[in-house]
C-alpha cells in the first residue's frame, strides 16, 4: 500500500509580522474606503508572521512580469533541492529510487517545468515520469498526494516525489486594492515543501482512498486575471462559505469507507483562513482543536497554498505521531472550487530482521 512519508518544509529568511503588514497596508492604501474593513479582516486571520523570498521593500515594488518570473525561477532552483534532499532522507530512499516527480506551483511559470531541471540536477533517473500541476492553486497539495497514490497503485512498488513551491509574494500587485486582494496581501506566505509517497514500506500515512469534488458553477470564485503585469489574484467574498457544501462530501467519502468523519484520529486540512477551519469544524461536528496542525501552520506562515497540507502533515509526524492503525483525512481546497481529499491509516515500517 502507498504511504505518505514525513514531509520536509522550508520558508525563506525574510519575515513580515502582522503588525508590519498592517502598517504597510495603511501607508500603501491610505484613504481608500475599503481599507478599514481589509485591516480588520487581516487582524482576524490569526496569521502572526509570514516569510518571503525578498525583503518587504522589494516585494512592494513591481519590476514587471518578466523580472518577477525570473526571480521565481531563480528562487525555486535555489530553494527546492535542500527540501527534496530532506524529504528523500525522511523516506529512506534515494533520488534514483524515484519513479515519478510531481511538481506543484501556481506562483510562477516555467516551460519546461522545473521537473526537468530537478531530474538533471538532483540525480533522478532520466526515465522519471514528470507530472507538473500548475493551475489547482491551494488544492494542488491534496491533488499531488492523490495523484501519487494513483500512480503507485497503477505501478506497484514505485515511489513518487512531491514538491510544492509556492512563492506567493511574487504575485503582489500594488495597484489592486479591492477587499479580496488586500486580504490576500495579508494572508499568503512563501514556502517550499516536499514528501515521498512510497509504494512499499516506510512509516507514515497509508493512503487508502481518495476523491475529488468540484462545487458546480464556482470557477470564478478563486482565479487569476493574467495581465501585462502578471497574475492578479481574484477572491470572491463567497469563498469562506464553501465548507457548508464540502463537509457533506467529506462525510460521504468517509462513510463509503466505513468510517465516521467526525471520529477520526487526525485531520490535515488546508488552512485557507480562519473561517474555513472554523466552519469545517462546525459542519463536521468536531472540535476546532482537531485542526491544530493547520491552525499552527496558518499562524506561523500564513496560507502557503499547496504546501499547507504537507506542512500540517510534517507537524503530525514531529509533534504527535499517532499509534499504528489511527485513521485520518487529508483535504485541500482551491480554485474550481475544488476539493482534493484522501483517507489514510497510520502505519509503521517493520524493522528489518537481522540474519
Whether 4 has a pLDDT exceeding 50, the answer reads yes
353 falls in which pLDDT band (50, 70, 90)? Answer: very low
Mean pLDDT (whole number) for 226-232: 89
pLDDT at 182: 84
pLDDT at 203: 95
Paired with 255 in beta bridges are: none
Mean pLDDT (whole number) for 230-234: 88
Which domains can be identified in the chain, with CATH numbers? 3-198 (3.40.47.10), 204-347 (3.40.47.10)
Paired with 331 in beta bridges are: 269, 341
Distance CA 325, CA 328 (A): 10
Whether 243 has a pLDDT exceeding 50, the answer reads yes
Residue identified by cell 486540512 is 269
> 29-47 pLDDT, tens per residue?
888 888 889 899 899 899 9
**Residue 138 annotated among the catalytic residues of the structure:** yes
- Closest by CA to 52, choosing from 137, 204, 169, 185, is 169
pLDDT at 177: 82
Whole-prediction pTM value?
0.94
Whether 352 has a pLDDT exceeding 70, the answer reads no
Residue identified by cell 516585494 is 59
pLDDT at 181: 84
- Closest by CA to 162, choosing from 130, 131, 196, 199, is 196
> 175-200 pLDDT, tens per residue?
888 888 888 888 999 999 999 999 99
Q: Which of 5, 80, 106, 138 is catalytic?
A: 138
81 falls in which pLDDT band (50, 70, 90)? Answer: very high
Average pLDDT of the chain?
A: 94
Whether 272 has a pLDDT exceeding 90, the answer reads no
Q: Measuring CA to CA, how many Å separate 327 from each of 211, 251, 252, 317? A: 16, 14, 16, 14
SS3 of the chain: the string is CCEECCCEEECCCEEEEHHHHHHHHHHHCCCCCCHHHHHHHHHCCCCCEEEECCCHHHHHCCCCHHHHHHHHHHHHHHHHHHHHHHHHHHHCCCHHHCCEEEEECCCCCCCCCHHHHHHHHHCCCCCCEEEEECCCHHHHHHHHHHHHHHHHHHCCCCEEEEEEEEEHHHHCCCCCCCHHHHHHHCCECEEEEEEEEECCCCCEEEEEEEEEEECCCCCCCEEEEEECCEEEEEECCCHHHHHHHHHHHHHHHHHHCCCCHHHCCEEEECCCCHHHHHHHHHHHCCCHHHHHHHHHHHHHHCECHHHHHHHHHHHHHHHCCCCCCCEEEEEEEECCCEEEEEEEEEECCCCCCCC
Paired with 327 in beta bridges are: 345
Peptide bond into 337 cis (omega under 30): yes
Mean pLDDT (whole number) for 99-113: 96
355 falls in which pLDDT band (50, 70, 90)? Answer: very low
pLDDT at 354: 42
- CA–chain centroid gap for 45, Å, is 17
Among 95-104, 215-224, 230-239, which stretch is predicted with the lowest mean pLDDT?
230-239
pLDDT at 351: 56
Spell out a b/e string for 56-86, using b for 16 or more CB atoms within 10 Å of the CB, else e: beebeeeeebeebbebbeebbeebbbebbeb
- For the chain, give the number of residues: 355
> 130-184 pLDDT, tens per residue?
999 999 999 999 999 999 999 999 999 999 999 999 999 999 988 888 888 888 8
Residue 15 CB neighbours (<10 A):
14
Amino acid at each position: 500500500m502507498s504511504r505518505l512519508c514525513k514531509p520536509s518544509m522550508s520558508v525563506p529568511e525574510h519575515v513580515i509580522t502582522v503588525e508590519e503588514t498592517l502598517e504597510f497596508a495603511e501607508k500603501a492604501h491610505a484613504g481608500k474606503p475599503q481599507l478599514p474593513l481589509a485591516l480588520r479582516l487581516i487582524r482576524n486571520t490569526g496569521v502572526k508572521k509570514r516569510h518571503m523570498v525578498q525583503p518587504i521593500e522589494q516585494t512592494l515594488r513591481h519590476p514587471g512580469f518578466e523580472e518577477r518570473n525570473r526571480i521565481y525561477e531563480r528562487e525555486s532552483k535555489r530553494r527546492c533541492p535542500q527540501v527534496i534532499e530532506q524529504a528523500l532522507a525522511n523516506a529512506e530512499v534515494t533520488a534514483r529510487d524515484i519513479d515519478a516527480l510531481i511538481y506543484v506551483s501556481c506562483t510562477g511559470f516555467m516551460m519546461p517545468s522545473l521537473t526537468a531541471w530537478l531530474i538533471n540536477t538532483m540525480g533522478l533517473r532520466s526515465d522519471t515520469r514528470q507530472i507538473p500541476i500548475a493551475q489547482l492553486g491551494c488544492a494542488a497539495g491534496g491533488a499531488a498526494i492523490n495523484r501519487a497514490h494513483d500512480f503507485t497503485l497503477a505501478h506497484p512498488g514505485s515511489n513518487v516525489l512531491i514538491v510544492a513551491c509556492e512563492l506567493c509574494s511574487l504575485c503582489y500587485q500594488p495597484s489592486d486594492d479591492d477587499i479580496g486582494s488586500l486580504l490576500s496581501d495579508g494572508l499568503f506566505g512563501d514556502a517550499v515543501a516536499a514528501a515521498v509517497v512510497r509504494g512499499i514500506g516506510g512509516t507514515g500515512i497509508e493512503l487508502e482512498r481518495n476523491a475529488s469534488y468540484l462545487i458546480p458553477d464556482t470557477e470564478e470564485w478563486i482565479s487569476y486575471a493574467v495581465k501585462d503585469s502578471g497574475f492578479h489574484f481574484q477572491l470572491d467574498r463567497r469563498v469562506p462559505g464553501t465548507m457548508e457544501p464540502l463537509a457533506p462530501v467529506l462525510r460521504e467519502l468517509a462513510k463509503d469507507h466505513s468510517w465516521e468523519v467526525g471520529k477520526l484520529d487526525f485531520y490535515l486540512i488546508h488552512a485557507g483562513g480562519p473561517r474555513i477551519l472554523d466552519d469545517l469544524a462546525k459542519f463536521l461536528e468536531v472540535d476546532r482543536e482537531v485542526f491544530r496542525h493547520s491552525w499552527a501552520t496558518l499562524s506561523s506562515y500564513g496560507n502557503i497554498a499547496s504546501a499547507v497540507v504537507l506542512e500540517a502533515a510534517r507537524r503530525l509526524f514531529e509533534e504527535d505521531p499517532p499509534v499504528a492503525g489511527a485513521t485520518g483525512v487529508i483535504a485541500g481546497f482551491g480554485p474550481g472550487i475544488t476539493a482534493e481529499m484522501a483517507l489514510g491509516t497510520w502505519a509503521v515500517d517493520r524493522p528489518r530482521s537481522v540474519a
